[in-house]
Amino acid sequence: MRLLVTMLIALVGSFLAGNAAAVLLTEFVWADASFALVFAGVGPVALIVLIIFVVMSRRADPVAAIDRAGGKMLRYLAIGFAAFGIVELMLSGVSEQALRGIYFILAVALSSAAVIAGQWLVFRKGIASSAEPAAAPPAA
C-alpha cells in the first residue's frame, strides 16, 4: 500500500512540477503554439520515470538503486539535450530560428528534469522511510 501511495504522489507531483517548469519557460521566452508539444511530453516522461523508479524500489538496496537511477537519468538527460542543442546550432547557425529551437530544447529538458527530480525526491523519501527499522517499544 505504501508503494501505491508513493507512486500516486510521485506521479501527480512530478506532473505538476514538469508542467510548472514548462509554463515558466514558455512565459519567459514568449513562446507560441509549438510549445504545446512540451506540455504533451510531460505525461509520457512522468510515466516512464515512474516505471523506472518502481523497478528500482524493488531491488535489494532500494535507496541506493533509486539514487543511482535518478542521478543517471539526470546525467543522460543533460548530455542528450546538450547534444541536441549543439546539433541545432550547427545546422541552423546563430539565427532567430536556431534560438527558437534552443528554447524548445531547453523547455523539454527542464520540464523533464523537473519530473525526474520530483519523482526522485518522492521515491527517495517514501522508500527510505519504509526501509527504516521499527523503533523498539519503550521499556516498562
Q: What digits encode the pLDDT tens for the residues 106-133? A: 888 999 999 999 999 988 887 777 665 5
Radius of gyration, CA atoms only, the chain: 19
C-alpha closest to that of 120 among 22, 1, 14: 14
By CB atoms closer than 10 A (0-12, 13-18, 19+), residue 139 is exposed
Residue ranges covered by each domain of the chain: 2-128
C-alpha closest to that of 112 among 64, 88, 79: 79
Q: How far apart are CA 101 and CA 1, in angstroms?
A: 43
pTM of the model: 0.82
Query: Could you tell me the pLDDT band of residue 95, with boundaries at 50, 70 and 90?
Result: confident
